[in-house]
Amino acid sequence: MARYLPREPGAIETSDGHVVGEHQGLAYYTLGQRQGLRIGGTRHGGDAPWFVAGKDSARNVLVVVQGHEHPALYSREVHAIDMHWIGGEAPALPCRVGAKTRYRMADAMCTLARNGDRYLATFDEPQWAPTPGQYLVLYDGDVCLGGGVIAAAVGTGMPTSRAHATA
Q: What is the pLDDT of residue 162?
A: 38
pLDDT at 108: 97
Q: What is the pLDDT of residue 71?
A: 93
| Distances in whole angstroms, Cα of residue 159 to Cα of each of 4, 7, 124, 135 | 38, 36, 9, 21
| 10-68 against 72-163: fold identical | no
Higher pLDDT, 162 or 26: 26
pTM: 0.81
pLDDT digits (tens, 9 = 90+) for 9-43: 999 999 899 999 999 999 999 999 999 898 876 66
Burial class of 136 by CB neighbour count within 10 A (0 to 12, 13 to 18, 19+)? buried
Q: How far apart are the first and last CA of the chain?
A: 43
Residues 10-68: name the CATH superfamily: Adenine nucleotide alpha hydrolases-like domains (2.30.30.280)
CATH topology of domain 72-163: Elongation Factor Tu (Ef-tu); domain 3 (2.40.30)
Hey, where are the domains in the chain?
10-68, 72-163
| pLDDT(161) > 50 | no
Kindly report, residue by residue over 86-108, the tens digit of the pLDDT: 999 999 999 999 999 988 889 99
Q: Which amino acid is at 165?
A: A
For the cut 90, the answer to whether the pLDDT of residue 130 exceeds it is: yes
